[in-house]
């Protein structure tokens, strides 16, 4: 049984092409990655609204796509919010990719992502842990800071 950590992408990104682990700039992402690394997993993947399942070392360009529900009056110009059917398709693609890189029935998945990223894939993965479930943004940051390699 392998230990796989899944981290969601974030809206705050650098302005130029970079490795995925470096492109995402928010404190939540950086602390999530540090916490994931502290778990000594077999693999870490990023759940990307545009690129599906990303290896943290993969170089990508900045983009503005999200699975999160962002009200129209709060969206920045150019932000694409996936529709319900696009989220279902996104989940199918992520599961296809995950099934080639891990064992959906036997591996242990630690999810560091919100419900919008988990909902399209959860029914296909047997062993899931959600250490951030039910925590608000500030609580998530505090948990990750306390349990990661960061100060």
pTM higher than 0.75:
yes
Q: pLDDT class for 150, splitting at 50, 70, 90?
A: low
Instruction: Give the β-pairing of 108-112 and 3-8.
Output: parallel
d(CA 32, CA 53): 16
Taking residues 63-82, report their average pLDDT.
Answer: 84
CA nearest to 104, candidates 75, 118, 124, 77? 124
Q: What is the DSSP letter of 13?
A: B
Per-residue model confidence as pLDDT tens digits over 34-61: 999 999 999 999 999 999 999 999 999 9
| pLDDT number for residue 88 | 95
- Could you tell me where the DSSP H helices lie in 8-103? 20-23, 27-38, 84-101
Secondary structure percentages of the chain, helix, strand, coil, to 5: 35, 20, 40
Residue 109 has pLDDT above 60, yes or no: yes
| Higher per-residue confidence, 141 vs 150 | 141
Q: pLDDT class for 86, splitting at 50, 70, 90?
A: very high
Q: Which residues lie closer than 8 Å to 131 by C-beta, 6 or more apart?
A: 110, 112, 143, 147
Residue 151 has pLDDT above 80, yes or no: no
Residue 20 has pLDDT above 60, yes or no: yes
| pLDDT number for residue 74 | 78
The two tokens of residue 54 are 């990303």
Mapping DSSP to helix (H, G, I), strand (E, B) and coil, where does residue 95 land? Answer: helix
């Amino acid at each position: 049984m392998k230990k796989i950590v899944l981290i969601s992408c974030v809206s705050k990104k650098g302005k130029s092409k970079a490795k995925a682990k470096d492109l995402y700039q928010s404190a939540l992402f950086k602390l999530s990655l540090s916490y994931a690394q502290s778990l000594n997993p077999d693999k870490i993947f990023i759940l990307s609204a545009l690129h599906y399942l990303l290896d943290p070392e993969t170089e990508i360009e900045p983009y503005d796509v999200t699975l999160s529900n962002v009200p129209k009056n709060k969206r920045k110009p150019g932000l694409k919010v996936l529709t319900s059917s696009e989220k279902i398709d996104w989940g199918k693609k992520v599961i296809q990719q995950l099934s080639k890189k891990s064992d959906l029935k036997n591996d242990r998945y630690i999810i560091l992502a919100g419900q919008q990223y988990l909902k399209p894939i959860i029914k296909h993965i047997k062993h899931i842990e959600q250490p951030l479930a039910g925590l608000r943004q500030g609580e998530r940051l505090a948990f990750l800071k306390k349990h990661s390699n960061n100060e």
